[in-house]
Every structure is written in structure tokens, then in C-alpha cells.
Amino acid sequence: MGLKRIHFRDRQSGGLVPESIPAEGALRWFYQTRLGFLLTLFCARRASFCHLYGWWQERPASRRRIAPFAARFIIDLDEVEFPPDQYASFNAFFSRRLKPEARPFAQAPEVLCAPADGKVLVCPCLGEHTLLPVKGALVPVARILGSGEEARPYAGGAALVVRLAPYDYHRYHFPDSGRAGSSRLLAGLYHSVNPLALERVPRIFALNRRMLTVLDADHFGRVAYVEVGAFAVGSMVQTYAPGPVARGQEKGYFQFGGSTLVLFFEPGRVVFDEDLLRDSAQGLEVHVKTGSRIGRGVSPELSR
């Protein structure tokens, strides 16, 4: 099965960049051969496989992978909280924190900031039957949120998808201050969220395990914040406590693997930046950094 090379736009440089896929050969075998895909289906139904793989990434011997991984994907080690040799395992480096000044959040209340590093697509208007476009996947909002009842407040609203690659910073943050409810697990499988896998299983985001949190944001209304697990991602770890949260506060992190965030906004509450709207309309992902501006909030009075 052939697959054209995926490109994304780097928002800082403005240039198109070819997607670099860690373990591309293995992913192609798992998702593009008959035997590999059968094995993938077997493993994806078992959280134990992901936990076992995660255990392996926690072993001290996995530290030897840190330096070549950082070199291959040009990870800026000056941003990282500790030097690479101070991480006890590859997983510890994978879920690394950054220095506080590395990802500042705009404090202007009307500015909507990216909750994580990754490649984004935006959907400015969710109709009753809208299928959310995610790199070859067309998924109903209700399937992602787990039910029509959960999706109802966001009909006519907007959605933000952030796809994290394994080399990205894997901690995610609250885009605004407000009150966050408890996180709720939406059961599912553990497929990869890489475009190679999305081509083979186009409704991956509705199949994978997800965590749903409702944030009553001070400036953007009621926000549904969904974390999507992935192949070899055994854990989506929440580091916040339900209750009051601050803009830019860490919400949690993904352990080893590529993963995705999907945020849903009520009607008339946010407007995404023009370049993101233009590129998303063409199916082109844009790489952004945590805390960078991606849109603005709209006063409820102005949206009437």
C-alpha cells in the first residue's frame, strides 16, 4: 500500500516541512501488511501490551536512546528542564518538562493559546452532522466525545485538533483560567495516531481511549478537552486537581508514543487565526508551540 509523503507548515518559518516518522518501517509493517495489521488489532485491544511497552521504556537501559533520538529530531536541549544524562529512562525524557520560560502563555484575556506543541487543524463551525477532518479521518463529534448528549453544547461551535509526534514536548496545558472538572475515561483501543495509521483506520480518534475534561473557561466558555491515547501510550497522566486552574497551568502529560488533543468550543466563543483557517481548509496541518496565539475569544454579547 503506497502513501504519499505528508507535509506540514512550520508556523515559525512559514515553510513546508516533510513529516518525519519515528520507527516508520515498523509502523508501515504494523499498518500496511496483512500479518502486521492482524497483530496490531490484537495488541490494540489490550492495554497490557501498552503497559508492557511502557515498562520497557522505563528501564534504565533505555537511556541510551535519548541522545540519538534528540540528535535525529533536532530537539532543543537548551529548553529542557534537565540535561539528558539526568533522566533515568527514555520515558522520563519523553515526558520531560521544559524550563518555565520556554513556553510563555499570552496573558491578554482575549488571546487563545495553543495547549500543546504539535500540528494543528481547526474547524470553525461544527454542524449537526459535521465530520471532523483529521488527516484522512472523518469522525463525528459525538463519536469523539462519547455521546450525542456530550456533543450537543458544541453544535455550531468550533474544534481544535493538536497532533503530537513522539519528538514533541508531551505535556499539555490549560488554554485559560477557570474551573476544571474531573477527567473521565472514554474506553477504547490503542491505535497509532500517525498518518500511516490514519490511512488504514480512518476513524481512529473515535476508537482510541480518550480522557474527557470539561473546563469552564473564564474567557472562552465551556470547553470540552479530550486527550486521545495512541499505540504504545499506556498512560495519559493528569497532574492537575479538579477545581480552579490558571492559564498555562500544566494539565497532564502523555507517556511514550504519539498522541492527540481535541478541544471543542461552544458557538460564538472563539475565532481562529486566518492562517490556520486557510491551511486547515486545505487539509494542511500547521506546527505550533505551546502558549503561542492561535485565535481569540469573542464576547458572548458580541456573538448574539
- Give the catalytic positions in this structure: 117, 173, 259
Scan for cell 537501559, then name that residue: 61
Q: Cell numbers at residue 193, please?
A: 495516531
Scan for cell 541522545, then name that residue: 67
In the chain, helix, strand, coil percent, each to 5?
A: 30, 30, 40
Residue type, 4: K
Scan for cell 504519539, then name that residue: 258
**Rounded-to-integer distance, Cα 40 and Cα 62, Å:** 23
8 A C-beta contact, residue 258 and residue 193 = yes
8 A C-beta contact, residue 118 and residue 175 = no
Q: Cell numbers at residue 207, please?
A: 476508537
